[in-house]
């Protein structure tokens, strides 16, 4: 899912940071991997199983016998890297090299075929790639689990990481450690995974692997000897990576003796075969013809087909504990293959796996159809998109200016933009997306309100529902721990930007003689809109940023109203930190001033806290607005223009006697375009 | 399109004679139309003739004009005549109430061309001796020298593009005359057509100040005749001036300054006895342009020449509704089309009832007198001005703020409101559309509930 988000993203030249994603576009093979969402802790809980199954000698693709891969010859790993450090290229090489072990030519064909597939516009969903690798006379099944690269998807990264026992941590030999490298490293480190540092792009002219090794040693406390220097592009030393996967990463913990138990971690729809569910087998085995039950729906299905993803579907007779693959069982609707569902054999019911906790949305934004007549279309588009992206939360909302819509919760800004982009491109829906807000909390003091809400602490997603100070003992705002890596020449500028954003410095280390790593505790609200863009621009693109959630903190929050000639505008209510009220209010007034057309009378645009006006802009009245000449030959053009204005007028929102075009709200509410 | 063309061409062959029969109209004295009411509406029209050529390009102009490569005046004359006849035949109008030669630079045309076109008009329709026949004049010495011949050819009103009395500004604007030459041309025109000379002036010119404008206007008023057209220079894409402004070589006065210039001009003209009868047009002694007034009153007009626009019912083509018609833009192509099939109509769009009313509204509101009830009723017999606009809260606000007036006379802008017309029109159009569609629904419902 997230993968296709990324792909979409790449296709829009309008979106910033696009360059960082280009690499995904070119490297189709990596698309074919999905994140297996196995949870290693469950596996660990299971008793260790030593294989009694004999290794068969044949490795012909069509008759692959999975029973010859006991758990101890399975490795689950993922590749983590900062954007553009070469994760996809390495994945390509791993696929090629392991494919080459079976048949060299066929392997090549597989890749070519995929390329064509993509060129024809067939959606190639993110897939898991199971690699068969011979090492010291033994055959290993290596499950490569792809992870998204961006900060927003760190949730996905951590899900992927938790499915693995080890990671390849890739660092660009030229750029060195970046913010995401750090963030991803800690995710892996905390999950106690085996970490294999890989220094990529050693073929580049400016490559400085020595320096990167120093950085790795310093930042991650990993001995430099453990680093593998490679060029994924040229294939240099990639074989060493495969060896390291087998040698340094432990096998998963699962047992084929247990009853069959599998987790659905992804699904897609095939017109001819119905739902294709991607599963991770946690225990036992499953084969064609088995009757399986969906724990979520209680429905029974016959297994029609199953197999490995290599990365294309590769049918097999059975799937065994510890393995990852796909299953087709006559499910007609994607909804039947609920992601996170547990499958088991009809005659051997098991306790359902906990499934996936819904991703916690940290960035909220209103989404409205450009035109209310597009509401039903947009609704179905959102439904279809959220089906495969359970991390998006959907709540109906309505705005006086923008009509009926939704308040959607996203994992982060990129996630939001990608979602929006997909809506527009795949579903041809024109969408208004309001500026992102974060979920605030309020600790209520009024017993009556506490009773009403059923709890003392409430979460406020819509600023219009912000409770008054008088009934609240404390407001809380979400915090993040941000990591910034940058050449030290920009340190001063970055520190003042962070200070400006209410950031509190937690840490600052030089990871080599020029690069500095800073850790800041930020209110999420402060980084959610334009922080990243500013950071990038003030560091000429050299600084990188990543963040992780860091709970809630008490904050002095206030509700700010925007008034037009004294009339409050409900959709522009904003929750701000007291210290930022003036600058935010001023900026909003300025943006409104620029986007509300001049009227026949003067308009005061004000930001107010309670009854106190803190900022004001004035839109001067029109003094002359009439076309100089209009004769017979001018009518057609004039009518066209006026009719367009009249159409626009129908969509305007009246506040008092002021006509405000929807664009004005959009300009104020939406993210600032760079 | 082709079918229609052939049809029209066939008709064009029947020799036409001057049609005296059906009307006494076409006089410039008073509006026949207003006296006689709707039946005349389709029987008469005004005629616009476009001369597409200029000697040079003015820096601000993006109008349809061409610098001729060779002298094809004879062919142009022949084709203007031919198209005039074809379209008159098609429109089946019996009376041409006014003729306007515009351009381009129609004063580059030979007076015999003007005479020939007017002859063609008279062959196909009644054209009163008193009917207003205006020619736009570029005030160069050559232009001036031809004025008398134009009068002999049948022109009885001149519209002179003075634009500015500042020679420096004339140069920036790319005009090919001096202010002195312009004044001499005005003088000659006044001698020939006393009381029937209009001057065009332009404000909002590069670097112009409100004060200098006021002085310039006063100077102009000392020498001008009974009619002044006042245009704010608008920057049009693709013009040389546009590029200069974009490149920072030339600065245009700010919006507030041009607004002040406009108001100042309105006051000054008023003080000198010039009544503003339209957004940009001022006249004393009732010397209004009848031709242009008929545009604002929503009457039929026929456009002849490259790129000319028309609005009429092509009766001869079996038509029943008014069409918005546009002639082919490029002179060479237009010439060929006229030679091949009698006319160069490139686009015909049938105007719906609503679209017609919209044009009537937009054009009518440009006049100081606005739209009177009778005038509206001719186009909208079922739905009066009060019914359409009276109930809207939006209109009520405009009435209360004193920008708009809706009373026994009709709907019009106040003095202040006229300067803000384009801010009001979109709202009025929205109301009109809503009312008309509601009316249609009501009618529909009534028909269903009361089957005959």
pLDDT tens per residue, range A591-601? 999 989 889 99
**How many angstroms separate the CA of residue B295 from the nearest CA in chain A?**
6
Residue A153 has pLDDT above 60, yes or no: no
Q: Which of B290, B426, B431 to mutate to test the interface with A (most CBs of A within 10 A)?
A: B426
Share of chain A above pLDDT 90, in %: 32
Q: Is the peptide bond before B129 cis (omega within 30 degrees of 0)?
A: no
Least confident of A326-330, B7-11, B124-128, B149-153: B7-11
- Residues of A whose CB is below 8 A from B262: 624
Residue A332 has pLDDT above 90, yes or no: no
Q: Which of B50, B304, B423 to mutate to test the interface with A (most CBs of A within 10 A)?
A: B423
Mean pLDDT of A543-556: 88
- For chain A, the C-alpha Rg in angstroms (whole number) is 28
Mean pLDDT of A195-206: 95
Where does residue A65 rank: exposed (0-12), middle (13-18), buried (19+ CB within 10 A)? Answer: middle
Q: Are B140 and B161 in contact (CB under 8 A)?
A: no
Three-state secondary structure string covering A546-600: EEEEEEEEECCEEEEEEEECCEECHHHCEEEEHHHHHHHHHHHHHHHHHHCCCCC
User: What pLDDT is attached to residue A503?
Assistant: 95
CB contact under 8 A, B279 and A600: no
More confident residue, A289 or A263: A289
Count other Cβ atoms within 10 Å, centred on residue B55: 12
Residue A196 has pLDDT above 50, yes or no: yes
Mean pLDDT of A596-616: 93
Q: What is the pTM of this model?
A: 0.63
**CA B185 – CA B145 distance, rounded (Å):** 8
Share of chain B above pLDDT 90, in %: 77
Residue A3 pLDDT level (bands cut at 50, 70, 90):
very low
Partnered with residue A302 across adjacent β-strands are: A291
**How many angstroms separate the CA of residue A614 from the nearest CA in chain B?**
28
Query: Which of A537, A553, A535 shows the shortest CA–CA distance to A545?
Result: A535
> Which among A624, A636, A642 has CB closest to B324?
A636
Mean pLDDT of A255-265: 86
Residue B48 pLDDT level (bands cut at 50, 70, 90):
very high
User: What pLDDT is attached to residue B85?
Assistant: 97
Residues 6+ apart with CB under 8 A from A575: A437, A440, A460, A463, A466, A557, A558, A559, A560
Mean pLDDT of A522-543: 86
Q: What is the pLDDT of residues B315-353, one digit of tens each?
A: 888 888 999 999 999 999 999 999 999 999 999 999 999
Mean pLDDT of B377-397: 94
Residue A449 has pLDDT above 80, yes or no: yes
**CA A617 – CA A600 distance, rounded (Å):** 17
ipTM of the complex: 0.89
CB contact under 8 A, A635 and B309: yes
Q: What is the pLDDT of residues B201-255, one digit of tens each?
A: 999 999 899 999 999 999 999 999 999 999 999 888 888 899 999 998 889 999 8
DSSP state of A336: G
Residue A617 has pLDDT above 90, yes or no: yes
Q: What is the pLDDT of residues B388-415, one digit of tens each?
A: 999 999 999 999 999 999 999 999 999 9
Report chain A's mean pLDDT, rounded to a whole number.
Answer: 78
**Strand bridging mode A574-577 / A557-564:** antiparallel
Query: Which of B314, B174, B187 shows the shortest CA–CA distance to B250?
Result: B174
Residue A162 pLDDT level (bands cut at 50, 70, 90):
low
Mean pLDDT of A35-59: 29
Count other Cβ atoms within 10 Å, centred on residue B402: 11
Which uninterrupted H or E stretch holds A132? strand A129-135
Write out the two tokens for A538. Answer: 């003030």
Where does residue B389 rank: exposed (0-12), middle (13-18), buried (19+ CB within 10 A)? Answer: buried
Q: Which of A619, A621, A626 to mutate to test the interface with B (most CBs of B within 10 A)?
A: A626
**How many angstroms separate the CA of residue A566 from the nearest CA in chain B?**
18
**CA A517 – CA A484 distance, rounded (Å):** 6
> Which among B50, B419, B429 has CB closest to A646?
B429
**CA A588 – CA A583 distance, rounded (Å):** 9
- Residues of B whose CB is below 8 A from A638: 362
CB pairs under 8 A between A and B: 105
User: What pLDDT is attached to residue A51?
Assistant: 29
Residue B115 has pLDDT above 90, yes or no: yes
User: What pLDDT is attached to residue A387?
Assistant: 66
- Residues of B whose CB is below 8 A from A628: 230-232, 234, 279-280
CA B298, B303, B304 angle in degrees (round to 5)?
Answer: 165
Residue B68 has pLDDT above 90, yes or no: no
**CA A522 – CA A510 distance, rounded (Å):** 21
Write out the two tokens for A78. Answer: 């993922």
By a Cβ cutoff of 8 Å, what residues of chain A touch chain B? 599-601, 620, 622-633, 635-636, 638-639, 642-643, 645-646, 648-650, 657
Mean pLDDT of A259-265: 85
**CA B107 – CA B105 distance, rounded (Å):** 5
Residue A98 pLDDT level (bands cut at 50, 70, 90):
confident
Write out the two tokens for A88. Answer: 């996809």
In this structure, what are the phi and psi dihedrals at residue A40, rounded to the nearest 5 degrees?
Answer: -65, -30
Mean pLDDT of A550-561: 93
Residue A270 has pLDDT above 80, yes or no: no
Q: How far is CA A635 from CA A568, B257, B384, in A?
A: 40, 27, 23
Where does residue B444 rank: exposed (0-12), middle (13-18), buried (19+ CB within 10 A)? Answer: exposed
Residue B6 has pLDDT above 50, yes or no: no
> Which among A623, A632, A642 has CB closest to B425?
A642
Report chain B's mean pLDDT, rounded to a whole number.
Answer: 89
Q: What is the pLDDT of residues A380-419, one digit of tens each?
A: 888 877 766 666 888 888 776 678 889 888 877 667 777 7
Three-state secondary structure string covering chain B: CHHHHHHHHHHHCCCCCCCCCCCCCCCCCCCHHHHHCHHHHHCEEEEEEEECECCCCCCCCCCCCECCCCCCHHHHHHHHHHHHHHHHHHHCCCEEEEEEEEECCHHHCCHHHHHHHHHHHHHHCECCCCCEEEEEECCCHHHHHHHHHHHHHCCCEEEEEEECCCHHHHHHCCCCCCHHHHHHHHHHHHHHCCCCEEEEEEECCCCCCHHHHHHHHHHHHHHCCCEEEEEECCCCCCCHHHHHHHCCCCCCCCHHHHHHHHHHHHHHHHHCCCEEEECCEEECCCCCCHHHHHHHCCCCEEEECCCCEEEECCHHHCCCCCEEEEECCCHHHHHHHHHHHCCCEEEEEECCHHHHHHHHHHHHCCECCCEEHHHHHHHCCCCCHHHHHCCCHHHHHHHHCCCEEECCCEEEECHHHHCCHHHHHHHHHHHHHHHHHHHHHHHHHHHHHCCC
**CA A289 – CA B16 distance, rounded (Å):** 92
């Amino acid at each position: 899912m997230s993968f296709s988000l990324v792909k979409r993203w790449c296709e829009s030249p309008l979106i910033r940071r696009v360059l960082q994603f280009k690499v995904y576009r070119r490297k189709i093979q990596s698309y074919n991997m999905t994140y297996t969402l196995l949870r290693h802790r469950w596996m660990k809980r299971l008793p260790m199983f030593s294989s009694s199954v004999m290794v068969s000698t044949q490795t012909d693709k069509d008759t692959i016998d999975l029973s010859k891969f006991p758990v101890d010859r399975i490795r689950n790993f993922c590749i983590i890297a900062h954007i553009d450090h070469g994760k996809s290229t390495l994945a390509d090489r791993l696929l090629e090299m392991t494919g080459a072990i079976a048949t060299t030519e066929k392997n090549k064909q597989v890749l070519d075929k995929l390329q064509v597939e993509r060129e024809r516009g067939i959606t190639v969903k993110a897939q898991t790639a199971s690699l068969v690798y011979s090492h010291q006379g033994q055959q290993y099944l290596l499950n490569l689990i792809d992870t998204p690269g961006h900060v927003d998807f760190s949730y996905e990264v951590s899900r992927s990481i938790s499915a693995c026992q080890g990671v390849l941590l890739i660092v660009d030999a030229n750029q060195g450690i970046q913010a995401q490298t750090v963030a991803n490293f800690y995710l892996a480190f905390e999950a106690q995974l085996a970490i294999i540092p890989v220094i990529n792009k050693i073929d580049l002219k400016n490559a400085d692997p020595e320096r990167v090794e120093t950085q790795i040693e310093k930042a991650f406390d990993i001995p430099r000897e453990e680093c593998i220097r490679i060029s994924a592009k040229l294939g240099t030393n990639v074989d060493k990576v495969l060896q390291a996967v087998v040698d340094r990463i432990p096998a998963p913990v699962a047992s084929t003796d247990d009853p069959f138990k599998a987790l659905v971690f992804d699904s897609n729809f095939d017109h001819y075969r119905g739902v294709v569910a991607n599963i991770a087998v946690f225990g036992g085995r499953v084969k064609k013809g088995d009757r399986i039950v969906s724990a979520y729906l209680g429905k029974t299905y016959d297994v029609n087909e199953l197999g490995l993803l290599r990365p294309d579907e590769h049918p097999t007779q059975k799937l065994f504990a510890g393995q990852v693959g796909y299953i087709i069982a006559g499910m007609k609707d994607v909804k039947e293959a609920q992601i996170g569902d547990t499958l088991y054999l009809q005659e051997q019911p098991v306790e359902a796996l906990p499934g996936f906790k819904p991703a916690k949305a940290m960035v909220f934004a209103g989404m409205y159809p450009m035109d209310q007549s597009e509401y039903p279309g947009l609704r179905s588009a959102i439904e279809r998109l959220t089906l495969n992206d359970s991390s998006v939360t959907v709540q109906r909302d309505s705005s006086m200016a923008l009509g009926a819509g939704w308040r959607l919760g996203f994992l982060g800004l990129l996630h939001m933009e990608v979602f929006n982009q997909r809506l527009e491109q795949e579903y041809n829906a024109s969408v208004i997306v309001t500026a992102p807000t974060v979920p605030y909390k309020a600790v209520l003091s009024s017993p009556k309100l506490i009773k009403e809400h059923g709890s003392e602490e409430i979460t406020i997603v819509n600023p219009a529902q912000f409770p008054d100070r008088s009934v609240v003992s404390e407001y809380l705002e979400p915090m993040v721990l941000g990591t910034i890596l940058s050449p030290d020449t920009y340190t001063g500028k970055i520190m003042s930007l962070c200070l400006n954003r209410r950031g509190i410095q937690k840490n600052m280390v030089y990871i080599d003689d020029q690069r500095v790593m800073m850790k800041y505790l930020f209110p999420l609200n402060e980084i959610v809109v334009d922080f990243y863009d500013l950071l990038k621009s003030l560091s000429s693109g050299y600084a990188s940023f990543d963040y992780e959630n860091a709970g809630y903190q008490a904050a002095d929050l206030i509700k700010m109203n925007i008034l037009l000639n004294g009339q409050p505008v409900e959709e522009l209510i904003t929750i701000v930190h007291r210290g930022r009220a003036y600058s935010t209010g001023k900026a909003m007034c300025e943006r409104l001033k620029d986007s509300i057309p001049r009227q026949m009378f003067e308009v005061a645009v004000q930001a107010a806290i309670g009854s106190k006006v803190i900022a004001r802009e004035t839109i001067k009245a029109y003094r002359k607005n009439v076309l100089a000449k209009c004769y017979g030959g001018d009518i057609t053009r004039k009518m066209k223009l006026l009719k367009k204005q009249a159409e626009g007028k129908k969509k305007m929102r009246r506040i008092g006697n002021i006509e405000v075009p929807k664009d004005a709200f959009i300009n104020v509410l939406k993210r600032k375009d760079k | 399109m082709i079918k229609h063309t052939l049809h029209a061409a066939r008709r064009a062959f029947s020799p036409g004679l001057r049609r005296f029969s059906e009307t006494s109209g076409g006089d410039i004295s008073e509006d026949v139309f207003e006296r006689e009411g709707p039946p005349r509406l389709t029987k008469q029209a005004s005629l616009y003739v476009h001369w597409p050529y200029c000697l040079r390009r003015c820096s601000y102009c993006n109008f349809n004009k061409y610098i001729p490569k060779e002298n094809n005046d004879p062919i142009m004359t022949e084709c203007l005549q031919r198209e005039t006849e074809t379209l008159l035949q098609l429109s089946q109008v019996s009376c041409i109430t006014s003729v306007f030669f515009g351009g381009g630079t129609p004063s580059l045309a030979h007076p015999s061309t003007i005479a020939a076109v007017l002859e063609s008009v008279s062959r196909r329709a009644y054209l009163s001796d008193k009917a207003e026949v205006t020619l736009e004049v570029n005030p160069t010495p050559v232009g001036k020298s031809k004025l008398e011949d134009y009068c002999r050819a049948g022109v009885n009103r001149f519209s002179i593009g003075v634009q500015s009395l500042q020679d420096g500004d004339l140069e920036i604007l790319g005009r090919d005359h001096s202010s002195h030459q312009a004044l001499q041309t005005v003088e000659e025109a006044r001698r020939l057509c006393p009381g029937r000379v209009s001057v065009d002036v332009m404000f909002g010119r590069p670097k112009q100040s409100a004060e200098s404008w006021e002085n310039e206007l006063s100077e102009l008023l000392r020498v001008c005749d009974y009619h002044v057209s006042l245009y704010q220079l608008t920057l049009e894409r693709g013009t040389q001036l546009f590029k200069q402004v974009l490149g920072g070589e030339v600065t245009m006065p700010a919006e507030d300054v041009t607004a002040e210039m406009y108001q100042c001009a309105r006051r000054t003209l008023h003080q000198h006895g010039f009544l503003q009868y339209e957004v940009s047009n001022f006249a004393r002694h009732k010397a209004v342009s009848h031709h242009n007034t008929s545009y604002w009153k929503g009457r039929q007009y026929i456009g002849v020449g490259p790129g000319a626009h028309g609005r009429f019912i092509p009766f001869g083509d079996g038509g029943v509704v008014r069409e918005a018609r546009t002639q082919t833009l490029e002179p060479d192509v237009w010439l060929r089309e006229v030679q091949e099939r009698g006319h160069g109509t490139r686009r015909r769009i049938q105007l719906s009832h609503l679209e017609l009313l919209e044009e009537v509204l937009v054009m009518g509101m440009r006049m100081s007198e606005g739209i009177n009830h009778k005038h509206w009723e001719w186009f909208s017999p079922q739905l009066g001005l009060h019914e359409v606009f009276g109930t809207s809260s939006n209109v009520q606000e405009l009435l209360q703020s004193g920008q708009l007036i809706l009373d026994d006379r009709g709907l019009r802008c106040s003095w202040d409101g006229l300067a803000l017309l384009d801010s009001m029109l979109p709202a009025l159009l929205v109301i009109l559309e809503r009312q008309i569609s509601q009316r249609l629904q009501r009618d529909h419902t009534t028909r269903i509930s009361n089957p005959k």
